[in-house]
Structure 1
Amino acid sequence: MTALTASQTHLESREITTGEPLGTVELSTPDRVTSAARRAGAAAPAWAATPAEERAAIVERAADLLVQRAEQAQELLVREGGAIPGKAYFEVHQAAQELRHGARLARHPGLPHPPADDPERTAEVTRVPLGVVGVIVPWNFPLLLAARSLGPALALGNTVLLKPDPHTPLSGGRLFVEAFADAGLPPSVLEVVHGDADAGSALVQAPDVAMVSFTGSTEVGREIGAVCGRLLKRVVLELGGQNALVVLDDVDVEQAAAAGAWGSFLHQGQICMSARRHLVHRAVAEEYTEAFARHAAALRVGDPYRSDAQIGPVIDRRQLTTVANAVEQAVAQGARLVTGGRPQPPYYPPTVLADVTEQMDVFHTEVFGPVATVTAFTDDAEAIRLANTSDYGLTAAVYTSDTPRGELIGRQLRCGVTHIGDQTVVQDAALPFGGIGASGNGSGFGGRASLEAFTRWHTLTTSTPPRTYPF
């Protein structure tokens, strides 16, 4: 996908490997984005007044329709975004689960608020919708990452203005429009706009938008957070990750290496949760590096639509160049290239860099591609220090057979989510998810975190008879 030009009126989606046209969508000028936000704002009061059970039922029907149309959705995810079929299958069904989770929140909003201190004043304290929620999603999981905002936002009574990434306008936008329309969602409760940074900026600044849910790069997230802060809008930011997988000395090395390969190379490493830094106990570091590199080199690279490839294409030429440059720089700084490292456009092979130290740029900079580094540590304290030596704080994992030891380490890792006895790429709609530092502003998705993110408190007190005052 090339950069959009001011003269374009439509965006053509093309297959990532062949360039074959897949469909077109209308591009939205900033004025059209503002108009779409205004329509969503006008629809908001009636939708908020719709009974929660009715809203939840519509969201659940949309989830059912996504699953019924899974074959079409999966093909789009493969061809438009470069997913392998297994990843596409997971994404469709997990997106449906995210919608169903939102419906459950609407039906079971949680425990009541404690009563007022004044026994002569009754208080009704409720969570109410915010109004219009602006949702900006990336290309790597366009269906899933949209659904985790759409499900709770819509079910809890908000209207939504959705902007998919220009790389994935069909799988990140059109699929939702069709599913929700057929599920009975009233007009303008879900508005979809298409475009690049100008459309995104217009969405964030639209007066009718009360909240922005953004998933994407840290650089763009900082800009959106600054604008939302100035405009006093609520914002949920889920950004990048330089995630650490800590491998202890008690592991089955082959099992650990397989988990590491999954965490690092699923969807070409183009996942915010990908295991980028493998911190391995020195006692097993060499054995682990060898096994990890062997697993990486065995992965089949190719067109996921026309072959049984396990590693598909990198999203575009610019990103392919970025990945290649990062690997070259790491080697120049002293990293050892164990496997991979040679681009085969539009593919980049799974790449393992060993002997990486915290002085190297690749230890700190997120390489959004199939590149993993290995760094040895001597004891648990050093592992914790290395894991926390990052501006990012999204996910982490401790691979170990000693659960208490792993939990002790895990509780000291500075991030939003930590997994013990597993790798870093784990998704569960019922659990809070979000990062800190350069990875975001805390959990805004999953479990009660979604309820808190997409609603606000409203307090109504009643005094009977009316209170009297001395002046």
Structure 2
Amino acid sequence: MGLLDTAVWHGKIFINEWTDGGGGTSPVIEPATSQQLADQGFASIEDVARASAAAARAQAEWALRPPEERAGVLRRAGQLFEQYAEEIRWWIQRETGAIAAKAGLETHVAANECFEASALPTLAQGEVLSSNDDRWSFARRRPLGVVSVIAPFNFPLILSIRAVAPALATGNAVLLKPDPRTTVSGGYVLARIFEEAGLPAGLLQLTPGGGDIGAAVVEAPEVKMVAFTGSTAAGRKVGETCSRLLKRAHLELGGKNAMIVLEGAGVDKAASAAAFGSFLHQGQICMTAGRHIVHDSVYDEYVSALADKAKNLPVGDPTDAGTVIGPIIDEKQLARVDGIVQDAVAQGATILAGGEHSGPFYSPTVLTNLTPENIAWREEIFGPVAPVMRFSDLEEAISLANDTDYGLSIGILGDVGEAMKIADRVVSGKIHINEQTVSDEAHAPFGGFKSSGNGTRIGGATVNLEAFTEIQWLTMRPEIAPYPF
């Protein structure tokens, strides 16, 4: 029996064990074909309460386990992601509409997230402080308790495991709520991996469902922190609730990322990088290159090359070996993408490539003749759309790049010296010089500024240790201190 044999989880949720959920079942649909792949179980509000209470009980004992035991579970999980990579990739392709390379990236990064997290239990967990009194003084890191992880549909495995793994490694328990469109890739996969890795019961609870379940895993009294990845609008609601309940909120939100192409940049390579940044996984990535800011001297050649790339990228079933562009996740998102493109044209934009769809497949699209007020330039599209605008000098490029509510990722292509001047003045959580905007590694800090989130909250030992623990002050004397009372 394979890791994801449906006989184990078909129509179930995971609260200490595989069980029926109070929210009923829903079909798992393949976006490319509309075929039903399986049934997923949905949790009820009562299930969330039960899962949260059980997680809190399990966490108290887990935090006392030797660090090598926690590290061992994470190492085994990483090895299992490698062992079952082919099976997991199949589900990612079918359920999310990903091409093989993107699905392979998810399993590769998932394994690395576990390996990186396995080092956390044995890192220094605090520091020795000086004191004016005759005592020892320490600042030590303690687990938060129960952490809720809410993950989106676009990179469901990576965007779940990057919070689940460090949370578990630092002694916490987790409530995992994946997007209901990708419950297998973002939920069942993790539950099965950690079940096989020997994680004690109760520490990873899987409560799939819609918005009501998302609210429940935020509001559950045992939950001390929420790691949310998703839209800015939904993230604001999570942040408001956490603020009211005095919970920590780690928000990784949307982006309208700029690809800046400088004077003298090699157009062929720049267009290739930009096409990757805008069209990978149908543009359904928070780091997607959503604005192309191109110098006058290369603008005409660049837009021609980018449009040529767009017209020649194979679109179709992501399980076909030659496919580069797969389906949009569902009809609602498809309608949003097309609606923005058509509104952009109504506001004066020109379509150089794409702008049409067949079934769930939206053609890679290049838009020109835009103004800064055009909807395609202002709003996150989450589709394979590349809006392009020209600039004449660095001041204008910097102004255009910063003129957005978002601040997640920026790519700058061309002369490194000029790129460095820009990098020091743009507001962005990540800047990539002579690379496109989509990049992620398990050991690298990840986070956005402005409406893209509340700063770096994921990635690397230092960031993850700070994210999933809190500091406790501890003092110690050789005998009871004297007091004047």
> Aligned pair 1:50/2:65, yes or no?
yes
Aligned partners of 1:11, 1:163: CA distance in 2, in Å? 15
Write the deviation string for residues 63-93 of structure 1: whole angstroms up to 9, x where unpaired: 1101111111101011000000010001111
Greater Cα shift, 332-341 or 114-123: 114-123
Taking the TM superposition and a 5 Å limit, the aligned residue runs for 1:258-269 are: 258-269=272-283
Contact 2:295 2:393 in 1 (8 A): yes
Taking the TM superposition and a 5 Å limit, the aligned residue runs for 1:62-461 are: 62-109=77-124, 112-118=126-132, 120-400=134-414, 402-447=415-460, 448-461=462-475
Aligned partners of 1:113, 1:79: CA distance in 2, in Å? 48
In proportion to residue count, which structure has more strand? 2
Write the deviation string for residues 279-323 of structure 1: whole angstroms up to 9, x where unpaired: 011111111111111111110000112452100000000111100
Say which of 42, 51, 54 aligns to 1:39.
Answer: 54
What is the DSSP-based 3-state SS (H/G/I as helix, E as strand, rest coil) of the residue aligned with 2:78?
Answer: helix
The structural deviation recorded for 1:337 is: 0.7
Say which of 17, 24, 42 aligns to 2:32.
Answer: 17
Contact 2:22 2:43 in 1 (8 A): no
The structural deviation recorded for 1:336 is: 1.3
Q: Compared with structure 1, are the counterparts of its residues 463 and 109 closer, same or farther at alpha carbon in structure 2 (3 Å cutoff)?
A: closer
What is the DSSP-based 3-state SS (H/G/I as helix, E as strand, rest coil) of the residue aligned with 1:444?
Answer: strand
Write the deviation string for residues 258-286 of structure 1: whole angstroms up to 9, x where unpaired: 00000000000000000010001111111
The structural deviation recorded for 1:119 is: 5.3
What is the DSSP-based 3-state SS (H/G/I as helix, E as strand, rest coil) of the residue aligned with 1:272?
Answer: coil
Report the residue type matching 1:57 in the other structure: G
Aligned partners of 2:68, 2:389: CA distance in 1, in Å? 52
Aligned partners of 2:330, 2:246: CA distance in 1, in Å? 35
Aligned partners of 2:66, 2:442: CA distance in 1, in Å? 23
Aligned partners of 1:363, 1:449: CA distance in 2, in Å? 32
**Aligned positions, number:** 464
Contact 1:320 1:345 in 2 (8 A): no
Q: Compared with structure 1, are the counterparts of its residues 406 and 114 closer, same or farther at alpha carbon in structure 2 (3 Å cutoff)?
A: farther
Report the residue type matching 2:450 in the other structure: G
Contact 1:23 1:170 in 2 (8 A): no
Q: Which runs of 4+ in 1 moved over 3 A?
A: none
Partner of 1:3: none
Identity across matched positions, percent: 45
Contact 2:22 2:47 in 1 (8 A): no
Contact 1:106 1:152 in 2 (8 A): no
Aligned partners of 1:293, 1:105: CA distance in 2, in Å? 46
Report the residue type matching 1:56 in the other structure: A
Aligned partners of 1:460, 1:337: CA distance in 2, in Å? 63
Partner of 1:470: 484
Contact 1:433 1:446 in 2 (8 A): yes
The structural deviation recorded for 1:239 is: 0.5
Contact 1:357 1:363 in 2 (8 A): yes
Aligned partners of 1:297, 1:279: CA distance in 2, in Å? 21
Write the deviation string for residues 102-135 of structure 1: whole angstroms up to 9, x where unpaired: 112222247x535223251201221111000000
Report the residue type matching 2:245 in the other structure: L
Aligned partners of 2:124, 2:355: CA distance in 1, in Å? 50
What is the DSSP-based 3-state SS (H/G/I as helix, E as strand, rest coil) of the residue aligned with 2:404?
Answer: coil
What is the DSSP-based 3-state SS (H/G/I as helix, E as strand, rest coil) of the residue aligned with 1:49?
Answer: coil
Aligned partners of 2:217, 2:316: CA distance in 1, in Å? 37
What is the DSSP-based 3-state SS (H/G/I as helix, E as strand, rest coil) of the residue aligned with 1:288?
Answer: helix
Greater Cα shift, 408-417 or 369-378: 408-417
TM-score by length of 1: 0.96
Write the deviation string for residues 211-257 of structure 1: whole angstroms up to 9, x where unpaired: 00000011100000000000000010000000001110121100000
The structural deviation recorded for 1:469 is: 2.3
TM-score by length of 2: 0.94
The structural deviation recorded for 1:7 is: 9.6
What is the DSSP-based 3-state SS (H/G/I as helix, E as strand, rest coil) of the residue aligned with 1:195?
Answer: coil
Greater Cα shift, 315-324 or 408-417: 408-417
What is the DSSP-based 3-state SS (H/G/I as helix, E as strand, rest coil) of the residue aligned with 2:166?
Answer: helix
Aligned partners of 2:300, 2:127: CA distance in 1, in Å? 55
Q: Compared with structure 1, are the counterparts of its residues 8 and 211 closer, same or farther at alpha carbon in structure 2 (3 Å cutoff)?
A: closer
Aligned partners of 1:342, 1:25: CA distance in 2, in Å? 32
Aligned partners of 1:106, 1:250: CA distance in 2, in Å? 48
Contact 2:22 2:42 in 1 (8 A): no
The structural deviation recorded for 1:404 is: 2.5
Write the deviation string for residues 23-78 of structure 1: whole angstroms up to 9, x where unpaired: 22321011111111111011011111111111011011011101111111101011
What is the DSSP-based 3-state SS (H/G/I as helix, E as strand, rest coil) of the residue aligned with 1:113?
Answer: strand
Greater Cα shift, 36-45 or 402-411: 402-411
Aligned partners of 2:319, 2:289: CA distance in 1, in Å? 25
Aligned partners of 1:468, 1:109: CA distance in 2, in Å? 32
Contact 1:109 1:451 in 2 (8 A): no
The structural deviation recorded for 1:465 is: 3.0
In structure 1, runs of 5+ residues without a counterpart are 1-5
Aligned partners of 1:308, 1:136: CA distance in 2, in Å? 33
Contact 2:23 2:41 in 1 (8 A): no
The structural deviation recorded for 1:431 is: 1.3
Partner of 1:60: 75
Q: Compared with structure 1, are the counterparts of its residues 232 and 331 closer, same or farther at alpha carbon in structure 2 (3 Å cutoff)?
A: same
Say which of 45, 64, 67 aligns to 1:30.
Answer: 45
